Amino acid sequence: MRANDLVARYGGEEFAVILPTQSLKGAATVAERIRTRVEQLQVPARLAGGHQVTVSIGAATALPSMDTSPSDLVATADAALYRAKHMGRNRISLPLPEPGRD
């Protein structure tokens, strides 16, 4: 972790990892590192017999502007998180490209 990075609980089973001045590629690298390290711990899931604790991660980035709000960033990350869960869990997901943007 860098000095300005922050990890905080954000709801019941959710956490937010704030990585100031990080690119989406860099955020994806950090997310995959977190996912892999949790998987390597091989912690038994108490309520899922025979399964281990894993994480699904939705990553998103934003540049501050008058046209975006913090809630926009959270909504983008949340959509990516639920896409990761829908795709089978224990994975990371990035935001879908916006139509008309390359």
Q: List the catalytic residues.
A: 13
CA distance 69 to 73: 7
CA distance 17 to 49: 29
Determine contact, residues 56/81, Cβ cutoff 8 Å: yes
Determine contact, residues 15/28, Cβ cutoff 8 Å: no
